[in-house]
Chain A
């Protein structure tokens, strides 16, 4: 199954990243097709979050390049990534704790604004109409993720699971082409994970959003994703469909240990 250039949304070419001499990512290349759900899996510390940060512009890779929507770059600033339709959630929830759910989701739409602050201050011109428009869009997302009962609640007061959903809502509100999710189901129980998987699948199906997510639960990954990339110690050790990856001996060794280790434990 080769990816034709038109259908590839994101391609990483030989990306390497190091922090003060410590290599976080070494020569990683893979491609994500438009409209697919791709999972990045691997043991802790394998460099998955760092990889997302590179795509998103938070970190700058030392070498290699990546192409997104046809344009090739080595580095991209965070707000450029946002302008080009990349949205993301974070491992440790990066919500604005002093604002309500609705306000947080509305901030996700800040790039869709056309009226200036002066117009908004004087409540003139396009501003009131735009306010309503943005509110409508935000409400759509809020209802889609079923967080409307809490729309005016201060985000800092919500339980963890709901906060994760609000962060997803904020990312979704930007109508992104590419959604990067960093452990969206961390800390959830089986029922919540099922719900979140359903949301992600719905987002992918209804809006056609391409999703790259980092996830530890293999069951979720197998059921949800079309494409899996496996990282270990900053290197790619697997790349393919869930079935292909599951059968990959290197992946098995990284996750489960080799046969000998297992029998030795008895």
Chain B
């Protein structure tokens, strides 16, 4: 009843090209953005900023990066964390060694360097398909981790191999407080998500999906597989690189190469599986799940009488439940939370009727 399209007809194609076709959707989006940019900084507390919102936003960005490559272009990858690491360490070194370089430019350049590394390890995708491609991205994961640990130049010869975040100064404003980090992350993530949404609805996005669904047919209708695949690696690498910089600087504050290890790659992969492959919104939902689930579980445990379950077991129980949830998702709703949301929206469209 509320979410209807009645009265919203278009006579040109322009309104159909919009990100949100229904006025209700657009209004909802602006409200959400307003809430995020204005209300949350005023109402939120430091814990929420640092422990929940910032990692949620950064992980959703990483998810989007991987989703572009795996969900849309169909190139399976377990090297996400490696590209995040490249972005983070590149940005760090640029800030350190190039005086006067604006922070955001370092982030962007870090992303570009990550994109180049991704393309390098993505070259095998021109010969190898599907499952075997995992090996190329796994190679990326291990080689990058090794390079960053072995050559101490990357960590500025720091004895412990850990790098610390440079001051988060943009145009003279200090973003180091939890609220500041939140706003910085939010701005970057919203901007990149907007670009990403345009991308997946563009010709390139369609070409990616064509390559994913049936690449021989894609070649036959004129799509250049070479260009499509390498662009997928490059753009995905850029997104992951920027996410890595944010993860290191806006979230953790300090990071070492092993913070971007294989389990991080798996984490990003889980985000897009749970959130929904081939979806933009799904990355938020998946990241929210990954971030909130452990907290929720810990709180539930806190409610149980003490001594019932050893607190050391919390992690193991979390692992089991997590694995079980992934399997359950794959069985019940393989297209992830995004699909669940879509189904909800469809029912809302015709509510209070059924169909």
Measuring CB to CB, which residues of chain A are less than 8 angstroms from any residue of chain B? Answer: 56-58, 78-79, 81-83, 87-88, 90, 94-99, 103, 106-108, 110-111, 113, 115, 117, 120-123, 127-128, 131-132, 135-136, 170-171, 174
Q: Contact: B220 with A88, CB < 8 Å?
A: yes
**Does residue B222 face the partner (Cβ distance < 8 Å to A)?**
yes
Taking a contact as CB atoms closer than 8 A, the residue among A58, A97, A99 that contacts B206 in the complex is A99
* Binary flags per residue of B163-202, CB closer than 8 Å to A gives 1, else 0: 0000000000000000000000000000000010011001
- Do A110 and B207 form a contact, CB below 8 Å, given A117-B231, A121-B198, A131-B13? yes
Smallest CB–CB gap between A227 and chain B, Å? 24
Q: A170–B221 contact, CB under 8 A?
A: yes
Smallest CB–CB gap between B26 and chain A, Å? 16
Main secondary structure of the interface of B (DSSP, over half): helix
CB B68 to nearest CB in A, in angstroms, measures 11
Q: A96-B214, A128-B17, A132-B13 are in contact. Are A174 and B195 (CB under 8 A)?
A: no
The 3 closest A-B pairs by CB, nearest first: A82-B222, A120-B202, A94-B217
B204–A117 CB distance below 8 A: yes
Q: Is the interface of A mostly helix, strand, loop or mixed?
A: helix
Q: Which size class do B's interface residues fall under? A: 20 to 34
**Listed A/B pairs (10) with beta-carbon separation below 8 Å:** A78-B219, A79-B222, A83-B222, A96-B213, A107-B223, A113-B203, A117-B204, A121-B195, A123-B198, A127-B202
B338 to chain A, nearest CB (A): 14
Q: Does B224 contact A (CB under 8 A)?
A: yes
Determine if B204 and A82 form an interchain contact, defined as CB atoms under 8 angstroms apart: no
Q: Which residue of B lies closest to A133 (CB)?
A: B13
Report if B8 contacts A (CB, 8 A): no
Instruction: Return chain A residues, CB-CB under 8 Å to B14.
Output: 128, 132
Residue of B nearest to A115 (CB): B203
**What is the CA–CA distance of A120 and B201 in the complex, to the nearest angstrom?**
9
A53 and B216 alpha carbons, distance in the complex (Å): 12
Alpha-carbon separation in the docked complex, A99 to B12 (Å): 23
- Contact, CB under 8 Å: B220 / A78: yes
What are the residues of chain B within 8 A of A98 when measuring CB–CB?
209, 212-213, 278
B220 touches A81 (CB 8 A): yes
Q: Are B213 and A110 in contact (CB under 8 A)?
A: no
- Interface presence of B210 (CB below 8 A): yes
B225 → A minimal CB distance (Å): 8
Chain B CB within 10 Å — which of A88, A122, A123 has the most? A123
Residues of B within 8 A of A131 (CB): 13, 17
- Which B residues lie within 8 Å of A99 (CB)? 206, 209-210, 213
Interface residues of B (CB under 8 A from A): 12-14, 16-17, 195, 198-199, 202-204, 206-207, 209-210, 212-214, 216-224, 231, 278
Q: How far is the CA of A64 from the CA of B221 in the complex (A)?
A: 25
Do A90 and B202 form a contact, CB below 8 Å, given A79-B222, A82-B222, A96-B210? no
On whether the beta carbons of B213 and A97 are closer than 8 Å, the reply is yes
Q: Which residues of A are found within 8 Å of B222, using beta-carbon distances?
A: 79, 82-83, 110-111, 174
* Given the contacts A107-B206, A113-B203, A122 and B198 also touching, CB distance less than 8 Å: yes
Given A99-B213, A107-B210, do A56 and B220 touch, yes or no (CB 8 Å)?
A: yes
In angstroms, Cα B219 to Cα A87, docked, is 11
Q: Apart from A79-B222, A110-B203, A123-B198, list 12 A-B contacts with CB within 8 A.
A: A58-B220, A79-B219, A82-B220, A96-B210, A96-B218, A99-B213, A108-B221, A117-B204, A117-B231, A128-B14, A131-B13, A174-B222
Contacting pair A117 B220 (CB below 8 A): no
A-side contacts of B16, CB under 8 Å? 135
Assess the A87–B221 pair: CB atoms within 8 A. yes
Q: In whole angstroms, what is the CA distance A136 to B13 when docked? A: 8
Q: Which of B12, B198, B216 contacts A58 (CB 8 A)?
A: B216
**Shortest CB distance A138–B (Å):** 10
Residues of B within 8 A of A58 (CB): 216, 220
Contacts of B217 in A (CB 8 A): 90, 94-96
Q: For A96, what are the chain B residues with a Cβ–Cβ distance below 8 Å?
A: 209-210, 212-214, 217-218
Of all chain A residues, the one with the shortest Cβ separation from B196 is A121
| Smallest Cβ-Cβ distance to A135: which chain B residue | B13
Q: Which of A57, A113, A120 contacts B199 (CB under 8 A)?
A: A120
| Chain A residues in 8 Å Cβ range of B219 | 78-79
A135 to B218, CA, bound (A): 19
Contact partners of A106 in chain B: CB under 8 A = 203, 206
- B223 vs chain A, min Cβ distance (A): 6
Given B12, B206, B231, B278, which contacts A132 in the complex, CB threshold below 8 Å?
B12
- Give bound CA distance, A127 to B204, whole Å: 12
Distance from B203 Cβ to chain A, minimum over Cβ atoms (Å): 5
Kindly list chain A residues whose C-beta atoms are within 8 Å of the C-beta of B278.
98
Question: With A and B bound together, what is the CA distance between A171 and B217 in angstroms?
Answer: 11
Contact of B204 among A108, A120, A128 (CB under 8 A): A120
Residue of B nearest to A155 (CB): B213
Which residue of B17, B199, B206, B214 is within 8 Å of A110 (Cβ)?
B206
Complex Cα gap A121–B217 (Å): 25
Which of A87, A120, A128, A171 has the largest number of chain B CB atoms within 10 A? Answer: A120
Instruction: With both chains docked as a complex, state the minimum distance between the C-beta of B221 and any C-beta of chain A, in angstroms.
Output: 6
**Complex contacts, A120 vs chain B, CB 8 Å:** 198-199, 202-204
Q: Are A82 and B203 in contact (CB under 8 A)?
A: no
A6 to B203, CA, bound (A): 36
Q: How far is the CB of B264 from chain A (nearest CB, A)?
A: 27
Q: Given A58-B216, A94-B216, do A103 and B13 touch, yes or no (CB 8 Å)?
A: no
Give complex CA distance A260, B206 in Å. Answer: 57
User: Who on chain A is nearest to B203 by CB?
Assistant: A113
A108 to B220, CA, bound (A): 10
Provide the bound-state CA to CA distance between A88 and B17, in Å.
Answer: 29
Do the beta carbons of B221 and A107 come within 8 Å of each other?
yes
